[in-house]
């Protein structure tokens, strides 16, 4: 009779897009090219670093109207199935994260599909495949996969990214949340 011992596996956080972050790319296949050399494993996390310029509202209405992609909440992360990913539709939305930065835990093997509700057709979309192997090419997390985060110390800057659950919504939150923020800013 044999004995099986499971050793902890290192986990990584992959900052989606690297220094570009999560924004409409200059070339359509940018996120595909970014993901290609990376290995994603169960226990890894994706960090979607939102461009904070989108939260700036200005009093120049003509500028504001010509920069609708900068509305608060417009730079979201939508988790979808393959059909929605390929067609940039929202027939089978799995989840929507409206406030950034966003951390997404990779909890199973298989394909994951993400896009931005306004930038999908311009290439702001990401497909990754999570395998059985340990992830690589990311920032190593200060704990092993399956280990409690609280036991690893919360002084690590990546804990600030942890917004899972809090911002998971069933509906899109782009324009309506931006409009409420704009009206509040203008009249209060």
Q: What is the DSSP string of 144-181?
A: ETTS-SGGG-TTSGGGGG--TTTTEESS--HHHHHHHH
Q: What is the pLDDT of residue 129?
A: 97
Q: What is the pLDDT of residue 98?
A: 83
Between 152 and 24, the higher pLDDT residue: 24
What's the mean pLDDT in 93-116? 92
- Kindly state whether residue 4 falls inside one of the protein's structural domains: no
pLDDT at 50 exceeding the cut of 80:
no
Q: List, in order, residues 6 or more apart from 36 with CB less than 8 Å away.
A: none
Structural domain including 95 reads: 11-187
Q: How sure is the predictor about 99, in pLDDT bands with cuts at 50, 70 and 90?
A: confident
58-78 pLDDT, tens digit each: 333 333 444 444 455 567 999
What's the CA gap between 90 and 56, in Å, rounded?
27
Average of per-residue pLDDT values in the chain: 70
Asked if residues 129 and 111 have their Cβ atoms less than 8 Å apart, the reply is: yes
Total domains in the fold of the chain: 1
- Kindly state whether residue 60 falls inside one of the protein's structural domains: yes
- Kindly state whether residue 174 falls inside one of the protein's structural domains: yes
Most confident segment among 27-31, 132-136, 161-165: 27-31
What's the CA gap between 47 and 68, in Å, rounded?
24
- Kindly state whether residue 31 falls inside one of the protein's structural domains: yes
What's the CA gap between 83 and 2, in Å, rounded?
45
What's the CA gap between 28 and 125, in Å, rounded?
9
Most confident segment among 2-16, 116-130, 142-156: 116-130
Q: List, in order, residues 6 or more apart from 110 with CB less than 8 Å away.
A: 129, 130
What's the mean pLDDT in 5-29? 81
Number of Cβ within 10 Å of residue 150's Cβ equals 9
- Kindly state whether residue 2 falls inside one of the protein's structural domains: no
pLDDT at 95 exceeding the cut of 50:
yes
**Encoding tokens for residue 51?**
């461009």
Q: How sure is the predictor about 29, in pLDDT bands with cuts at 50, 70 and 90?
A: very high
Q: How sure is the predictor about 45, in pLDDT bands with cuts at 50, 70 and 90?
A: very high
pLDDT at 163 exceeding the cut of 60:
no
Angle at 180 between CA 179 and CA 181, to 5 degrees: 90
Q: Residue 61 is part of a domain; what is its CATH number?
A: 2.60.40.420
Q: What is the pLDDT of residue 41?
A: 94
- Kindly state whether residue 1 falls inside one of the protein's structural domains: no
Q: What is the pLDDT of residue 135?
A: 73
- Kindly state whether residue 97 falls inside one of the protein's structural domains: yes
What's the CA gap between 55 and 30, in Å, rounded?
23
Asked if residues 126 and 115 have their Cβ atoms less than 8 Å apart, the reply is: yes
Nearest CA among 10, 82, 66 for reference residue 39: 10
Q: What is the pLDDT of residue 53?
A: 52
């Amino acid at each position: 009779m044999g004995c099986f011992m499971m050793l902890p596996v290192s986990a990584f956080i992959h900052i989606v897009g690297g220094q570009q972050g999560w924004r409409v790319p200059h070339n359509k296949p940018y996120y595909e090219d970014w993901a290609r050399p990376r290995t994603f494993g169960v226990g890894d996390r994706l960090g979607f670093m939102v461009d904070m310029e989108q939260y700036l509202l200005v009093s120049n209405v003509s500028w504001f109207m010509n920069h609708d992609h900068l509305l608060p909440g417009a730079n979201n992360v939508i988790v979808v199935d393959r059909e929605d990913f390929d067609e940039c539709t929202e027939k089978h939305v799995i989840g929507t994260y409206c406030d950034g930065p966003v951390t997404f835990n990779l909890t199973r093997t298989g394909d994951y599909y993400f896009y931005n509700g306004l930038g999908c057709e311009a290439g702001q979309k990401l497909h990754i495949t999570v395998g059985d192997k340990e992830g690589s090419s990311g920032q190593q997390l200060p704990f092993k996969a399956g280990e409690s985060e609280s036991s690893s110390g919360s002084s690590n800057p990546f804990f600030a990214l942890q917004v899972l659950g809090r911002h998971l919504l069933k509906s899109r939150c782009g324009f309506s949340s931006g409009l409420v923020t704009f009206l509040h800013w203008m009249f209060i």
